[in-house]
Every structure is written in C-alpha cells, then in structure tokens.
Amino acid sequence: MNSTFLDWLTIAGYLAITLVMGLWFRRRSGRSIDDYFVSGRSVNWWLAGTSMVATTFAADTPLVVTGLVYSQGISGNWLWWGFLFSGMMTVFLFARLWRRSGLLTDVQFAEIRYSGKPAAFLRGFRAIYLGLLMNCVILGWVTKAMTSIIGTTLANTPMLVNISRFMSAHFGSVWSGNDGAALAICVFFLIPFTGLYVSLGGLWGVLWTDLFQFVLKMSIVIAVAYFAVVACGGMSAMIQSLRAMQASAGPNAANPLAFFPEFSRGLRAEPWWMVPLANFCVYIGLQWWASWYPGAEPGGGGYIAQRIFSARDEKQGLLSVLWFNIAHYAIRPWPWIITGLAVIVLYPGLQHPESGYMMVLNAHLPHQYRSIAIAGFLAAFMSTVATQLNWGASYLVSDFYRRFLRKSASERHYVRVSRLCTVLLVIAAAWVSVQLGSIASGWQVVLQIGAGTGAVCILRWYWWRINAWSEISAMACSLLVTVILNRWQPFAGNSSMVFAKSALTTTIITTIVWLTATFLTKPEPEEVLVSFYRRVRPDVRGWKRVASRAPELVPHRDLGSNLGAWALGCAMIYLCLFGTGRILLHQPAGGMTMLAGSAICALLLYRRVVRNFKIEPQKEETAAP
C-alpha cells in the first residue's frame, strides 16, 4: 500500500478523537472507583450493549470468520454461533441477579456467596488468574492479529522498513521484516496509546470510544464485503461460482452455502457420520454451558457483568445484554461471511485462509478507502484492548490490592492505583504478545483451560448447596485434565475430533470431581446463604431451605418463565440470522418467512418480558470491598 499524506492524516485524526474522549471523561471517572470501573452505575442499555459488541469485534475476528467460511463453509460459524445459548441465558436468567448483587466485579461474587478462607482464596486467585494471566493471553493473541494486519497493509512502506532496520539492529532479529516492525508499532505505540486513554477516561471513556469505534468498524467491513462481491461479478455470479466449484469437486464436496454441517461427510478413520455430528453436538450441546470463554461465560461474568453493573437499573442491564446478543449474532456476522465466500471464489487453494480477508482489502478496496480501513482495524484492536485493560485493572485493584493489601485508603487513592495497574497491564500484555507463538495458541489456551467449569457458574445462583470448594475443585480439575490430555494425547483423529473428545472427557471428569467435592464438604453457613438470598432473590425452588429463614421476602418462582423467554430469544435471533442470510443469498421466500418468524418471537418476547418488567422497590445495595 502506498500511503499518502491524506492517509496518515485520517489515521492521526482517528487517534486524536480517541484521546480527546479519554481526556473529556477524565474528571468524571476520577471521583471514585465506582465511577472509574462501572461509570457510577448510570449507563443506558444501548451504550452498555454496544460497548459489549465493540469489544467482541477484535482485529482478529474478520480474519477468523473468513478462515472458518473458507475451510468449512457458512456452517463453520457454529464454532461460535452455539454460544448464543449461553448469551441468552445471561439475558434472562442472570442479568437481573448480577445487577441486584451491587458488585463492582464478578470476582467479588465469591465473598457474598461463600465464606471464610476458601472464599477469600477463590476471590484473590481469580483476580490474578483472570485479571493478569488470562487477560494478557487474550491481549497477546489480539496483538498477534493486529501485527499481521499492519504488516500486510503497510508492507515495505518506508515507515515499516525504517522501523524494522532500527529494531533489528538494536533489539534482535525478532523485530526484523514487516511483521517485526508491525509488532513494534503494536507493542510500543498502539497498546500504550490505548492504555493512556483508558487510564484517563475509565469506563466512561471506554464506553463512548467503543460506540464511535463500532460504527467505524461496521462501515469498513460492509464496504469490504461490497467490493469483494463486486470483484466476483455480483452476488448472483458469486453464488453460481460457488455451486460450480462444489460440483467440480465431486459428490462428497461440502456445500459452502449450507447453514448447518452436512452429516454425510466424514473421515476414513471414523464412521461417516461421526466427525461433523460430533463437532456440531459439542458446539450446541456442550461447549456453550461447559466452557469458560471471554464474552460468553456460562452464568455471565467478565466484562459482560461489568457492563451490567454499570447499567442504571435491572431493566437497563437486561436490555443491554439483549441488544448485545442481537447485534453480535444476528446483525454483525454477514459482512464477514459474505467476504469469506468471496475469498473462496477469488483465491482458491489458499494455504492460510485467514489471509484472504486482507488480500481482498488490499486488492479490491479502492485506495481512497484504505486509510479508513486501517483506522477501522485500529478501532477493532483498540476497543478490545481498552476493555481488557479496564476490566483487568478492576480485578487487580478491587479484588486483590484493596481486598488483601490496603483496605481503607481514599477513593482517589484507588483511582490512582487503578491507573497504575492499567500501565502494568500494558507492559505485561506487550511482553506476552512478543512471546506468544500464534493467534491459534492463544485461543487454545483459553478454551482448553476453561472446559468443564461452566455448570458450577450456572448452578451457584440457583442451588444453595454449591460452595466455594465446588468452584475451586472445578477449576483445578479442568486445568489438570487439560494438562494431562495435552501431554499424553490419548485421542486419535483429526484436530476437530480430538477437540470434541477432549472437551467431552474434560467436562465429564470435572463434573464428577466438583459434585463429589460439593457433597464431601460442608455447605456454606446459613447466615451467608440467607444474606445472599435476601440480596439477589433467586428462584426459590433451589433455595427453599434458605428461604424459610427470610419469610419477609415474596418468593420468586420465575425460572420457568425465564427459560421460556430464553427459548424465544434464541429462536428470534437464529431466525433473524438465517433469514437475513437467505435474503442476501437470493433465497427471498425462505428469508422473509424466517424474518417473519423472528418478528413474531420478538413481539412475544416484548409482551412477556420487556413490557411487563417490574423493578422491585429497594435500596441500592453495593457490596463491601
């Protein structure tokens, strides 16, 4: 790409806007730790929800989706589409409970639900484990993706050549070439720059820059999809080419336009139906509730919970997560998917399918849009980094420093420490990004270690018998089984089959272990359980023994209706997703039918939940540090 002065001016303008937003919210976020990490609990649903969508739209996301579509067709997206079941559970089963808890972080949950040293250990361990270790792995793989993007779009430009020469001469060969120079830009400029505006503006700055960045990112991916289809000769020509390629590949070739896996294809080492069926069943029947993954935690959690805490009330919290799931699954994916289909036509036989997205951008996006495209990828990268920095710092300060090191300092002191922790995370994330071998290695670490722990995260809200040892044993067992399976590799088959078998094995063993630990250890003290029940007011059927100690509360029996709303919400979004896809792929009759079904589900959902939503009068509770 030959960069002009106008290109650099566009990129500088984008960076200036983000910095101004951080400075604008500096005073508003600096009054207290609540203002810094949860925006004073006064955020509207649309702002909180859009921030969640922007965070999950990282620099690597369009590349990963392109790779999935290229290698597996549209149905390859079930790898992440299946997480909708978990997301809609957060909307209807957990969002209100999280908002009622009055917490600052979801890690703080340990000491309102459990008691004693096990609860304190769980809170402190998760603060370091998630806030520092896991957070830096996530930041590392996102940085790897951004490195590839910068190295491709600015390849052999004078700036990259000069940076590469300087870095390799002074710091070693790891910084040589386009990728080395791009890594230097990410590590020494983009991550620190993001840390600067995050440390200044707190969550307020993150939320408003996320809104701006999301609009910019979506504009770019829609433009890339449009010009990719034009390069194929139009949508009709692209569809015909895909069908011709499938026909020429033989009768057993996969249909790239299919929305569901074709169970008639498999590997010689397995029965004909095993591979696609096993993977699909893992995605929709196991992975979404059994595995921890950022943004799709079973029972909610992470930065999703942080946005719920920041909402003005329970209704705003619920609507924020509902809007996130609608935008994340039903609205946002199709520009990526369409581009992935175009890559199949334009670049058959790619060895690294993920690179196809940047090939389309470089070859077919008009030059006048390329600087805006780079700004869009910067926005994708920085929105994710910003949330991870603010979210990770909230754990380190609230759940470790304030809880275990200095309990009684002023609010302004904790805000200053929060800004210092943001700087610490910037340094740690930069180091991890240099050490991390690949994007895939980061994904694998997160998915494997979190397998098998989800059931505890769900049931701790709805069953009084869950205790601190349930969570501790689940985390320890999942980690141990993952290490053993990776060390001895007992399963045969291709990588997808090994993943399916490993996930099932880890989940079964972990479930047996945490259930055994639960019944072999004492339940939490009654006073702790009663306090939690009064505060959160979960469905009474899993808390009857505890509810009898709080007769002044009207018992909630809403689990059945909430599950009904969950089913309607899942149907609404899947019908919207597939209906939109069918219309884009020139199947208007089926598409309109599905969109009509989605609209009916939305109307039923509105009448059942949103219109009749009642917030019980109560004094706002905030958890003690």
28 or 20, which is more confident: 20
Mean pLDDT of 238-261: 84
Mean pLDDT of 451-465: 91
Mean pLDDT of 313-341: 94
- Non-local CB neighbours of 172 within 8 Å, separated by 6+ positions: none
Q: Is 301 left (phi over 0), alpha (psi -120 to 50) or beta?
A: left
pLDDT at 266: 43
The band of 431, judged by pLDDT with boundaries at 50, 70 and 90, is: confident
Best-predicted range by mean pLDDT among 174-178, 215-219, 443-447? 215-219
pLDDT for residue 306 is more than 80: yes
Best-predicted range by mean pLDDT among 272-276, 309-313, 363-367, 438-442? 309-313
pLDDT in tens, 94-131: 999 999 999 999 999 999 999 999 999 999 999 998 88
Tokens of 585: 């792929």
Residue 76 CA to residue 458 CA, distance in Å, equals: 27
* 3-state SS assignment for residue 600: helix
pLDDT for residue 580 is more than 90: yes
pLDDT for residue 273 is more than 50: no
pLDDT for residue 619 is more than 80: no
Tokens of 488: 């001895």
Task: Please state, as a whole number, how many other Cβ atoms lie within 10 Å of the Cβ of residue 243.
Answer: 13
The band of 272, judged by pLDDT with boundaries at 50, 70 and 90, is: very low
* 3-state SS assignment for residue 43: strand
- Give the burial class of 425: count Cβ atoms within 10 A of its Cβ; 0-12 exposed, 13-18 middle, 19 or more buried: buried
pLDDT for residue 263 is more than 90: no
Closest CA to 503 of 534, 481, 488, 523: 481
* 3-state SS assignment for residue 229: helix
The answer to which of 271-275, 318-322, 456-460 has the lowest mean pLDDT is: 271-275
pLDDT at 494: 64
pLDDT at 302: 85
Q: Is 293 left (phi over 0), alpha (psi -120 to 50) or beta?
A: beta
Residue 114 CA to residue 584 CA, distance in Å, equals: 50
Phi, psi for residue 435 in degrees, rounded to 5 = -85, -25
Whether the Cβ atoms of residue 177 and residue 25 lie closer than 8 Å to each other: no
- Non-local CB neighbours of 585 within 8 Å, separated by 6+ positions: 235, 239, 257
pLDDT in tens, 127-157: 998 888 888 878 877 887 788 788 777 777 7
Bridge partners of 607? Answer: none
Q: Give the ranges where 232-332 is alpha helix by DSSP (H).
A: 235-248, 274-282, 288-290, 302-310, 314-325
Tokens of 79: 């790898």
pLDDT for residue 450 is more than 80: no
pLDDT for residue 612 is more than 70: no
The answer to which of 261-270, 431-440, 569-578 has the lowest mean pLDDT is: 261-270
Closest CA to 465 of 548, 521, 531, 535: 521
Closest CA to 460 of 446, 448, 475: 475
pLDDT for residue 161 is more than 60: yes
Mean pLDDT of 378-404: 88
Bridge partners of 291? Answer: 451
- Maximal CA-CA distance, the chain: 74
pLDDT at 367: 80
287 or 494, which is more confident: 287
Q: Give the ranges where 396-453 is alpha helix by DSSP (H).
A: 411-435, 439-450
